[in-house]
A and B are shown apart, each in its own frame.
Chain A
Amino acid sequence: GENVEQHPSTLSVQEGDSAVIKCTYSDSASNYFPWYKQELGKGPQLIIDIRSNVGEKKDQRIAVTLNKTAKHFSLHITETQPEDSAVYFCAARGKGYNNNDMRFGAGTRLTVKP
């Protein structure tokens, strides 16, 4: 099955700087890669996703890049703000047809210092 590794486990940046979180996956047939943001006491919220037919997707300050050859994908947050502080999870969907083949990374705790 799919295996997803996420780095770093913690990340601290100054307000206004950029933050980058990286994930690698094992199944070359994986084709869907969502990113979730989880605030304290809340469930994970989808912030951006990318499918394997594109290499990059951007939504305002958030962007995701995908390198299928190297089997890794990254989340980029520019002009970080204190409200970006949260735990971020990447995920990858394996080659099975059902959506229950989604596997999550262990998470990155991002702290943005004002």
Chain B
Amino acid sequence: GAGVSQSPSNKVTEKGKDVELRCDPISGHTALYWYRQSLGQGLEFLIYFQGNSAPDKSGLPSDRFSAERTGGSVSTLTIQRTQQEDSAVYLCASSLAGYNQPQHFGDGTRLSIL
């Protein structure tokens, strides 16, 4: 079946602009995660959605970052007033609800801030 879909796959923008990244989770997955992966680094947790519960925003690095998930499905990650240090691959993952469910990742959006 279809996996996690992210768009765009690549985004180049100028410093100071706002960007929106989209994630389409696997159908039926109620949990959704955003991670940031800088070049050659591991995964940095950003935000987590589970069903209708309040999201866990504890990983967001600044108030320029926000995310929403409409209708319990598609999610958008928004970065306002982008800075060069925001350049990274932004990965989305989804999973079934419940204990120890594996996360399934999309291929990410490679964001480059000029």
Interface residues of A (CB under 8 A from B): 6, 31-32, 34, 36, 41-46, 49, 51, 89, 93, 97-100, 102-107
Inside 8 A of B106's CB, which chain A residues have their CB?
Answer: 43
Quick check: A44 and B105 within 8 Å, CB to CB? Answer: yes
Quick check: B41 and A99 within 8 Å, CB to CB? Answer: no
Interface residues of B in 12-70 (CB under 8 A from A): 31, 33, 40-43, 45, 48, 50, 56
Interface residues of B in 48-102 (CB under 8 A from A): 48, 50, 56, 91, 93, 95, 99-102
Q: List 10 A-B contacts (CB under 8 A).
A: A41-B107, A43-B93, A43-B107, A43-B108, A98-B48, A98-B50, A98-B56, A99-B101, A99-B103, A100-B45
Q: In whole angstroms, what is the CA distance A98 to B56 when docked? A: 10
- The reply on B4 being an interface residue by CB < 8 A is yes
Inside 8 A of B105's CB, which chain A residues have their CB?
Answer: 36, 43-45
Inside 8 A of A105's CB, which chain B residues have their CB?
Answer: 42
Quick check: A89 and B42 within 8 Å, CB to CB? Answer: yes
Quick check: A100 and B48 within 8 Å, CB to CB? Answer: yes
Q: In whole angstroms, what is the CA distance A36 to B85 when docked? A: 26
Q: How far is the CB of A47 from chain B (nearest CB, A)?
A: 10
Inside 8 A of A97's CB, which chain B residues have their CB?
Answer: 99
